[in-house]
Amino acid sequence: MASTRRSARRQDTSDDAIAALKADHKKVKELFKQFGKLRDAEDSGAERTALVEQICNELTIHTAIEEEIFYPAVREQIDDQNLMDEAIVEHAGAKELISQLQQMRPDDDLFNAKVTVLGEQINHHVEEEEGEMFPKARKAKVDTEALGAQMEQRKLALKAELGVADEETKVNNLRSQVRNQGGEKRTAR
């Protein structure tokens, strides 16, 4: 019993690849949820732009570390090449929508729809990873701690390359500015 608890704790550490990927999934899911709340709000263009930029950056980094590090290691260890191939194809679809969104503004036709569809595709992808791929990786005894350390290093490098090391702070600052402007409008009336 004690070894099971220790094993579960060890799997939830920040060095564990699966725990790190699940944390990314949770973060992006929350970002899509925030977008949903802003989708139809007036004067939310700047905030939606910043949020979609953060979503796109998070997904770009996440797909890169999965494709470069996690997927190859899992592919070697599990007997389900179709699952791995489908994950790559799902990434390609997400990358296409990300590319389109990076060229758009919130007032463009289909902007909200594309963000919504991207969120739906990501939710489906996450369900397959967490429901099928991750359990198979654990069962195959993939060294998720070693992969987690490699993924964290690559994630930091990608953030630096994309200039998004401080993305959350930028979005939070923008949200504060938008809220303050809203308060100024109410005060001015």
Residue 1 lies in a domain: no
- The answer to whether residue 112 sits within a structural domain is yes
Asked, for residue 60, whether it belongs to a domain, the answer is yes
Q: How far apart are CA 119 and CA 98, in angstroms?
A: 11
CATH code for the domain of 67 = 1.20.120.520
58 lies in some domain: yes
The answer, as to whether pTM is greater than 0.95, is no
User: Which pLDDT score is estimated for 170?
Assistant: 59
From CA 48, how far away is CA 50, in angstroms rounded? 5
Per residue of the chain (189 residues), give pLDDT as tens. Answer: 443 333 444 444 457 999 999 999 999 999 999 999 888 777 778 899 999 999 999 999 999 999 999 999 999 999 999 999 999 999 999 999 999 999 999 989 999 999 999 999 999 999 999 999 999 999 999 999 999 999 999 999 999 999 886 555 555 556 566 666 655 444 444
Query: What pLDDT does residue 188 have?
Result: 46
pLDDT at 45: 83
Torsions phi, psi of 163, nearest 5? 70, 35
pLDDT the model gives residue 1: 42
Domain range for 41: 16-184
Would 61 be classed as within a structural domain? yes
DSSP string, 7-18: HHHHHTSTT-HH
Q: Quick check: is 6 in a domain?
A: no
Question: Considering the domain boundaries, does residue 136 fall inside one?
Answer: yes
Cβ atoms within 10 A of the Cβ of 157, count? 13
Let me know if residue 189 belongs to a domain. no
Q: CA–CA separation, 26 vs 105, rounded Å?
A: 25
Q: How far is CA 106 from CA 37, 97, 143, in A?
A: 14, 14, 42
Number of domains observed in the structure of the chain: 1
Give CA–CA dist 72/148, Å, rounded.
13
